[in-house]
Structures are given as C-alpha cells and as structure tokens.
Amino acid sequence: MPRTVRDVVFVDGVRTPFGKAGPKGIYHETRADDLVVKAIRELLRRNPDLDPKKIDEVAIAATTQIGDQGLTLGRTAGILAGLPQSVPGYSIDRMCAGALTAVTAVAGGVAFGAYDVALAGGVEHMGRHPMGEGVDPNPRFVSEKLVDESALFMGMTAENLHDRYPTITKLRTDEYAVRSQEKAAKAYADGKIQQDLVPISVRNTNEAVGETGWGLVTSDEPMRPGTTLENLAGLKTPFRTHGKVTAGNAAGLNDGATAAIIASEDFARENNLPVKMRLVSYSFAGVEPEVMGYGPIPATEKALAQAGLSIEDIGLFEINEAFAVQVLAFLEHYGIADDDARVNQYGGAIAFGHPLASSGVRLMTQLARQFEEQPHVRYGLTTMCVGFGMGATVIWENPNFNAEGDSK
C-alpha cells in the first residue's frame, strides 16, 4: 500500500549554555550524558502536553563516542532522563553535523510514518574527550594520497580555504568575528538567547582555597563582548606561519548539549504542541577534505534544488561559524554581503562556541526564534561544514508566514 509523505515540523529545541573545554571550563566536573539528560528533561518540562510514552525514538549525536559519550547515548540518556523504557534510542556521528543529522534522520522516519514524534540532539564534551581522542586514521589516506595530510587538522583546512578565496583577507575574517561577538551580546541583552537555555548546576574546585562548590550556569562561557579589531590583530596564527586563522576568528573548543522535538505536523496539532518550523528539504554533500569549509555551498545547492527554491528565496540564514572564512566563502559564492542583515542575526559559534555534535540544533533554535519575530520571512536555512570534507543544509519554512508581515 503506497504511503503518503507527511509534513515534518520542529516543535521545540533547547540547549545547555556552552562552556570552554578544559580544566578551567564550567563543565570540567560534569558528565557529558548528564548534559543531554538536562536538555531532554527541559524539553519535557516545557511541553507538558507531550506524553513521554508517545515518543517513538531518541537520536543523540556525539563525535567522540567513548566514555560518558558512549554506550548508545540516545538509549541511555533517555532512560536517565526518565523516559519510559519502551522508548528506544541510538547514537549518531557526523562530526560537526551530528545533531543536525539526528534531526534529519528522525525527520525521515516521521515523514515515512515510522514515527509520530521523536527527540533529536547532540553533545560534545571536548574537555573530557578532545577531538580525535582514540582514533586511528588509516595510513592509506596519506600514503596513497587519497586526501591531503592537512585534511586531518581543521585549522589547516581553514587556511587552505583562504588559499582558494584570496579575496577573503584576515581583516575581513576579523571584522566578521567582531560582528559575531557584537550580535551575540545584543541578542543576550535583548533576551533572545536565554529563553532556550537550560540552567545547569555545576560543581567546581576553587584551587585558591582548596574548596569544592556548586554554582548555576545560565549563560555561554566562550563569549567575549567588547572584542575589537585591535584585539584580534595581534593573535597568533597557530596553523600556519603568517596565516590568517586565529583563535579570534574561529570557534573554540567547547562543551555543551542540545535537544529538539521533531514530529509530524498532524501529531503536533492534535497534541497541542507548538509548530515553530516546517521542514522543507535537507541535503548533505562531500567536498575535498582539505577544504572542509567549502561543504555548505554544494549542500545548499542540493537542498535548494530539492525544494525548487533559489538562494534569493531564503530570508534568514543560520550558518555555523566553525571559521569565519568558511562563512565568508559561502556568502561570497552566493553574492551575499559580509554584513548582510539576514545572516546569523543573533551571532554565531565564534561567540557562543561550537561543541561539535551539538551545534546543529543551536542553529535551529535560533532560526525558530527569528521566524517567530519575523512573519514576513517565509524560508530560512541552517547550514554547516563537517569534518573530513562535507556540508549539511536544512531548509525550513516559517509557519507564521504571511506576506503582509503580520502574525497569523
């Protein structure tokens, strides 16, 4: 019997504040799976009309799937969060696009009719599990010249992208980074970010007095409001002598988790759940691993073609800022100005941080908030580059849209 593809919607999304990785970071004493649990519990608290027994799947991404990020996170985090044992779960790894892939994976199940509602998200505790921990890349990658050796080092791939785009100068990337910090600070001042943050209790050691104390994390740790071009100009270029990529125009090493509710539109309406975005299309693409940051361009081309849209139809962009050069390459390719008002209106990963596998849902929660505020915008997209040469793009429709710009 033929099946009808169902409309898929983004019901709600939350995240923990993002922290700096390492012994001085806010989550140094906090388990990765506990961060996911907090996000899931907050989703259920915010959406009391969702019966946990009706949840059909939990998909949670992590790049480094060992230790407290291992053991089939979707299943274990679901049980730890108090979901019924009848709710299954699994883990996903697509590096930076982990949470984004978790969303698209369960969305496919919803569209097909295998699920009515599912949870999707991701976590990365880069303090406990540094990128590349425990991996053993096959020597054939380099010995047989399957990829350039620089493909294994994300910062070097960003320098390679600068080579491909000689018009993207260090000054342009630093200017972009300053704007990201400024926009993020303004978004906080305007109360745009806090609404989707899960407060996290953390235990930290005060080395000065040898005491252990508890605190409540309610904001992102990596942010540096007040950043200036002068601050950034003097930073080291660790990936290449006299290079262009610095700690100031790239995302840092971070800890954090995200989670979202994905459902069929019919299920959401019938169960009195919000409908914040409607899924239009999604696509993944591969590129040369040594220029990883190019990935969002072909992924977006594919997603636009699937949707029958052009780049001019997109009214809002949430582009993950792994590196400023990667965002600027995307904008330059599509003829979009560096400071276009449609792009990353609340700031991006250069300010908030980029805990690899969790970041995709952060893009979605920020886009959903902008859709709510801007009913004149019909379409938006979330896109990101992915380690080892990939890109990922999801196009969304604003359910609040009407051409006059008034909310329905």
Question: What is the DSSP secondary structure assignment for residue 243, as one 8-state letter?
Answer: -
For 313, other C-beta atoms within 10 Å of its C-beta total 14
For 335, other C-beta atoms within 10 Å of its C-beta total 9
Q: Which of 311, 268, 335, 263 is nearest to 110 (CA)?
A: 263
CA pair distance 249, 269, nearest whole angstrom: 42
Helix (H), strand (E) at residue 215: strand 211-217
Q: Are 147 and 299 in contact (CB under 8 A)?
A: no
Written as six digits, the tokens of 73 are: 């996170």
For 136, other C-beta atoms within 10 Å of its C-beta total 6
Q: Are 61 and 94 in contact (CB under 8 A)?
A: yes
Give, rounded to a whole angstrom, the gap between the first and last alpha carbons of the chain: 37
**Paired sense of beta strands 211-217 and 200-206, if any:** antiparallel
> What residues are labeled active site?
96, 354, 385
**Paired sense of beta strands 19-20 and 200-206, if any:** unpaired
Q: How far is CA 128 from CA 96, 192, 293, 347, in A?
A: 17, 30, 26, 27
Over its C-alpha atoms, the chain yields an Rg (Å, rounded) of 20
CA 150 from chain center: how many Å?
A: 24
CA pair distance 239, 17, nearest whole angstrom: 28
Q: How far is CA 124 from CA 97, 263, 386, 389, in A?
A: 12, 25, 14, 20
For 358, other C-beta atoms within 10 Å of its C-beta total 36
